[in-house]
Amino acid sequence: MQPDTNDILTAAAVRERCGLVYAAAERDEAPHFRLRPERLDTAAALVVEVTRRNYPDLDVPFHSRWRHFSAGGTERAGLVALGADRAETARARIDLAIVSVLLDAGAGAGWRYHEAETGQVFARSEGLGVASLRAMQQGLFSDDPARPWRADAAALAALPSSALARAMQYRDDNSLAGFDGRVELLRRLGEVARDNPAVFGRPARLGNLYDYWSRQGGPIAAPDILRTLLIALGPIWPGRPLGDCGRHGAVPGDGLVPFHKLSQWLSYSLVEPLQDADIAVTALDGLTGLAEYRNGGLFLDLGVIEARDPSLASRRLDPIEEAVVEWRALTVALLDQLAEKVRRALGKTAAEFPLACVLEGGSWAAGREIALVRRPDGRPPLNIASDGTLF
């Protein structure tokens, strides 16, 4: 029996099916992790502390790719399509967000990016964000040399591996995890956009999503942004027609547990370009927390969840094996509970402090911070094999 893709390709399915795994853990029936919910208060306290430290006025922006473009105190987002009109600026910002998010599937502990323009050196997500912005500034993804701030389907489909390697400073002595997977992902992205003119226009360009949503008129619900991305971009995922999904025995029937981590993060990252172009985005909390190693690491490092098998931390894990699926599902469910505790401590309502602010304030930064306390190099508590297309 084929899974119901209409169900799987939604944020509601992520929350519902992760909740089934969480319910099994509450019954102490989850095979890989034990739940210690009494320790969630400790996690919430750390998130509140980190949030107040990073944003003393509690004016927390959304968790999105745009935060990384100002790494090192340099504001780079203003460089995008400088001088263009509002519509073209929105297209260029959507171009950048999509390419940059899809390039950010974990860099590995050793990779570094040296930014020639500032002399600064960045690692991990910040490095990938800055590198992708500078690559677009140089016209790497544009089919028109006179207009570099574009991500055209033709240029993406024919992207030379050597050109992306230079842009990302990928070398034998500066290895970027899953590099080949990233190249193939961007090429497939170009091919899929080229073959879908109804969404990406003709000639196809990622930023033409602005025109697609503009034609619909009125506000757009954040879960509908995700749904559009999952349907339009689904074919880019290698061997994963349903995108970022795994299987777990706690889910009856097809056993599928969707996460759509990169696609949800991309959805969060499109909110600001759309809002700045006067397209209102509603129902932001219809999206879920992100099932990735910083949020998941926060709960594991603080003992909110405990591995039943202590050797799990020393093994190299396949990203779709059941133990990883369980960890990620518990992360999604726990983030909703964490958000309630954090809001209560900060005196904020859900409308004033949506999940996107909890993540940014927040859980992601706290996960990174506790990882550095537990392990000198700040690596995640679990070693997940990356092909550059998932984490």
pLDDT (average), residues 62-74: 93
Distances, alpha carbon 112 to alpha carbons 106, 107, 137, 173, in Å: 12, 9, 19, 10
- Residue 370 structure tokens: 């506790």
Domain boundaries, the chain: 1-63+220-391, 65-216
Give the integer Cα–Cα distance in Å for 124 and 146. Answer: 31
pLDDT in tens, 29-46: 999 999 999 999 999 999
**How far is it, in rounded angstroms, from Cα 383 to Cα 317?**
6
The tokens describing 333, both together, are 């469910």
Q: What confidence tens digit (pLDDT) does each residue in 161-197 have? A: 999 999 999 999 998 888 888 899 999 999 999 999 9
With bands split at pLDDT 50, 70 and 90, how would you rate the model's confidence at 82? very high
| HEC secondary structure over 349-374 | CCCCCCHHHHHHHHHHHHHHHHHHHH
For range 42-67, the mean pLDDT? 96
Choice between 56 and 379, residue whose per-residue pLDDT is larger: 56
Per DSSP, 309 falls in state: S
- pLDDT of 179 reads 87
| Per-residue pLDDT at 6 | 55
**Position 5 pLDDT exceeds 60:** no
CB 109 within 8 A of CB 380: no
pLDDT tens, residue by residue, 256-309: 999 999 899 999 999 999 999 999 999 999 999 999 989 999 999 999 999 999
What's the distance, CA 320 to chain centroid? Answer: 17
Mean pLDDT of the chain: 93
Give the C-alpha separation, 100 to 67, whole Å.
12
* 28 Rama sector, left if φ>0, alpha if ψ -120 to 50, beta otherwise: left
Residue 3 has pLDDT above 50, yes or no: no
| Residue of 109, 108, 125 lying closest to 70 (CA atoms) | 125
Give yes or no for residue 108 having a pLDDT over 80: no
